[in-house]
């Protein structure tokens, strides 16, 4: 084999090796991005993560528009897809500006231009670690409740029986249907590591399934909704025969009388 041909083959092999390494590296980066996107908390009004990733051009306009420096563009070590806007509640939460200037600043619609009410934001979901929460351990704290901008709907204080004494505990409970994920609770929690944290709901929420029926939550049919039986079809009870109590439609297995 002459020297020119050997040189050509060597360069071809080197090129193929570089391309293969590049492909592997690219695939690795894509996997890392996909994993990081589950952890990232996005600005209010962000589209669903796949649509957001497709629409965000990483321009940083939302970051510049935020008056509190809540938002940052992710760097490699931030655990979010590089260049995309995210926030870390324990450092700086979203203060839920009523005019949310970050949203209209977005030039591509990655932050939904139809977004109209900051209380509708679902940036994440606050989750309480009962084992490190002061209130759940029997002390009085409730800081998270007091700082929550949508307290009494996103977070409530409820009494809970205590083993040590007859005095009840007052514990915070988060309600997913109203929590915006702003993270003001996480920022304010006085424990060394926050006992309440905002996470992507996908990481913490389950789904019960359509086939379960919570009978105690279903509406009792009103008299207007139940068709009235005609007097001819339902004879009036006689004076000697007391009227049977009205029975709600549906099956209540636990309360059925057993025929032995
Ligand atoms: S709503 Fe306000 S505080 Fe929250 S990210 Fe947007 S500009 Fe920043
Ligand atoms: S602020 Fe922290 S410690 Fe206090 S009640 Fe809330 S979660 Fe518990
Ligand atoms: S993240 Fe915390 S402070 Fe914000 S709405 Fe939810 S419970 Fe309230």
Instruction: Output the domain CATH number for residue 193.
Output: 3.30.70.20
Residue 174 domain-assigned (yes or no): yes
Q: Which residues line ligand 2 (CB under 6 A)?
A: 128, 133-135, 141-144, 172, 189, 191, 195-196
Nearest to 127 by CA among 40, 41, 199: 199
pLDDT at 195: 98
pLDDT at 259: 47
pLDDT at 24: 59
**Which residues span the domain enclosing 141?**
124-206
pLDDT at 231: 41
Q: Which residues line ligand 3 (CB under 6 A)?
A: 126, 148, 150, 154-155, 174, 179-185, 198
pLDDT at 18: 57
For residue 197, report the distance from its CA to the centre of ligand 3, in Å: 9
* Ordered alpha helix ranges (H), 82-214: 102-105, 143-147, 184-188, 201-204
Rounded average pLDDT per 10-residue block, the chain, 260 residues: 70 64 56 67 96 97 98 93 97 98 98 98 98 95 98 95 77 98 98 98 92 81 44 45 48 46
**Number of folded domains that form the chain:** 1
Which one of 41, 42, 43 would you pick to mutate in the ligand 1 pocket, going by the greatest count of ligand atoms within 8 A of its CB? 43
What residues contact 75, with CB distance under 8 A and at least 6 apart?
A: 82
Please tell me what DSSP assigns to residue 246: P
Residue 145 domain-assigned (yes or no): yes
Residue 202 domain-assigned (yes or no): yes
Q: Which residues line ligand 1 (CB under 6 A)?
A: 43-44, 65-66, 68, 70-71, 94-97, 100-102
pTM here is 0.74
Nearest to 119 by CA among 178, 66, 70: 178
pLDDT at 162: 75
Residue 226 domain-assigned (yes or no): no
Residue 148 domain-assigned (yes or no): yes
Cross-strand partners of 174: 155
């Amino acid at each position: 084999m002459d020297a020119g041909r050997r040189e050509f083959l060597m360069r071809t092999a080197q090129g193929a090796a570089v391309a293969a390494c590049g492909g592997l590296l690219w695939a690795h980066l894509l996997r890392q991005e996909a994993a990081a996107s589950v952890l990232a908390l996005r600005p209010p009004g962000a589209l669903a993560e796949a649509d957001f990733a497709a629409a965000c051009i990483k321009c940083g306009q939302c970051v510049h528009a935020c008056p509190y420096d809540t938002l940052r563009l992710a760097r490699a070590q931030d655990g979010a897809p590089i260049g995309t806007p995210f926030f870390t509640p324990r450092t700086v939460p979203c203060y839920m500006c009523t005019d949310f200037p970050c949203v209209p600043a977005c030039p591509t619609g990655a932050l939904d231009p139809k977004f109209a009410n900051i209380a509708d934001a679902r940036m994440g979901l606050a989750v309480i670690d009962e084992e490190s929460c002061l209130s759940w351990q029997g002390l009085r704290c409730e800081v998270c409740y007091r700082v929550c901008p949508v307290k009494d709907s996103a977070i409530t204080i409820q009494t809970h029986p205590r083993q040590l004494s007859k005095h009840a505990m007052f514990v915070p409970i988060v309600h997913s249907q109203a929590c915006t994920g702003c993270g003001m609770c996480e920022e304010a929690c006085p424990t060394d590591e926050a006992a309440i944290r905002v996470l992507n709901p996908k990481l913490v929420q389950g789904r019960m399934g359509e086939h379960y029926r919570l009978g105690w939550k279903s509406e009792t049919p009103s008299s207007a909704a139940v068709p009235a039986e005609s007097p001819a079809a339902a004879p009036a009870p006689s004076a000697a025969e007391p009227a049977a109590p009205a029975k709600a439609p549906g099956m209540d297995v636990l309360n059925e009388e057993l025929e032995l």
